[in-house]
């Protein structure tokens, strides 16, 4: 029995070596990706130990005394915990769930364009905002929404309305502004993956549907969307893991004394307490909670998706 197992291991190793030899160029191109994840994702995970230590610069990470789960208890017993979790879930749901269909719709619209030049221009224009800095975008937004002098208020004033509204100082406008801003910035970039998946749908299916008299909407619904179902499922499952990670830069830049009640999220709180407040262990504990909850959500959504739609990550 042991000899059979050894022979199987040898044959597997020989097959793997043969594949590496045949596709050596691809494996070489893959090396920078592996190095990147090792350096910036796996090695920094050693810092998670800060969540269980009373960190001291003099003693270092490993020399600092252990505090166990004190930071976790401190956070859940704090006055801000409920508000921070609620705000983070609302913004995370908005970004991960409500914005998700828009990238698919944009990809469907671009995919139906028949003029190749116009199609390339439309795609380029749609994903250019992704490369713009959030600082630049929100600075432009602040100028546009400024009371009396902003373009939006001037237009409202010209139509006979009140032109003195300070939108960024009012809590009720924060979520709509953040939704539209994030959608404009990321919708085009997110649609690239769906466009790539659509290019793999068999053209013969479209030709057969045209012969049967199907219109564009029916072809989208019955051919294109089922053809990219697995891509949609995988990206949605991965997106669910970000429900407790609402992002930092946009929210931090949009925060004002007027909307602070709803704009204060876990990501902003971690940076504020960790970097500004110097509570590195406490901030690491909150970040660890976000990571663990995200992992659990991904595993649960993957299990549910596989049971219902037979689409999953693993």
The predicted model gives 85-96 an average pLDDT of 91
**With 90 as the cut, is the pLDDT of residue 276 above it?**
no
Q: State the Cα–Cα distance between residues 92 and 265, nearest whole angstrom.
A: 10
- pLDDT average, residue stretch 223-243: 87
Task: Give the per-residue pLDDT at 238.
Answer: 84
Give per-residue pLDDT as tens, 7-37.
666 777 778 788 888 888 888 898 999 999 9
The Cα–Cα gap between 183 and 194 comes to 16
Output the pTM of the full model.
Answer: 0.84
Closest by CA position to 113, among listed 130, 100, 126, 99: 126
Indicate the DSSP class of residue 129: G
Say whether 33 sits in a helix, a strand or coil. Answer: helix
> Is the pLDDT confidence value at 5 over 60?
no
For residue 116, name the pLDDT band (cuts at 50, 70, 90): confident
Indicate the angle between helix axes 174-198 and 116-127, nearest 10 degrees: 140
How many residues comprise the chain? 314
Nearest to 239 by CA among 140, 104, 40, 70: 104
Pick the residue with more confidence: 235 or 314?
235
Which segments within 30-180 are labelled E, that is strand?
A: none
pLDDT band for 4, please (50, 70, 90 cuts): low
Q: Are 196 and 230 in contact (CB under 8 A)?
A: no
């Amino acid at each position: 029995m042991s000899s059979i197992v050894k022979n199987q291991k040898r044959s597997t190793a020989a097959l793997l070596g043969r594949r590496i030899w045949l596709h050596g160029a691809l494996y070489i191109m893959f090396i920078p990706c592996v190095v990147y994840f090792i350096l910036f994702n796996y090695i920094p995970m050693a810092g998670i130990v800060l969540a269980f230590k009373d960190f001291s610069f003099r003693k270092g990470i490993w020399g600092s005394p252990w505090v166990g789960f004190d930071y976790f208890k401190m956070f859940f017993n704090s006055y801000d915990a409920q508000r921070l979790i609620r705000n983070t879930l609302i913004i995370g749901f908005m970004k991960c769930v409500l914005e998700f269909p828009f990238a698919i719709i944009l990809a469907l619209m671009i995919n139906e364009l028949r003029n190749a030049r116009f199609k390339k221009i439309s795609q380029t224009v749609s994903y250019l905002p992704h490369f713009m800095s959030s600082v630049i975008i929100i600075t432009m937004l602040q100028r546009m929404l400024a009371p009396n002098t902003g373009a939006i208020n001037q237009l409202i004033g010209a139509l006979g309305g009140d032109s003195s509204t300070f939108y960024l100082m009012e809590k009720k406008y924060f979520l709509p502004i953040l939704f539209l801003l994030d959608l404009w910035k990321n919708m085009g970039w997110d649609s690239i993956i769906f466009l790539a998946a659509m290019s793999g749908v068999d053209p013969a299916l479209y030709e057969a549907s045209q012969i049967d008299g199907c219109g564009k909407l029916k072809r989208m619904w019955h051919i294109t969307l089922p053809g990219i179902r697995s891509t949609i499922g995988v990206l949605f499952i991965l997106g669910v893991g970000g429900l407790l990670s609402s992002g930092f830069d946009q929210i931090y830049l949009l925060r004002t004394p007027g909307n602070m009640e709803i704009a204060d999220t876990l990501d902003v709180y971690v940076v504020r307490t960790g970097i500004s407040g110097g509570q590195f262990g406490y901030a690491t504990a909150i970040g660890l909670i976000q990571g663990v909850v995200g992992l659990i959500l991904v595993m649960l959504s993957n299990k549910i998706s596989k049971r219902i739609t037979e689409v999953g990550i693993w």
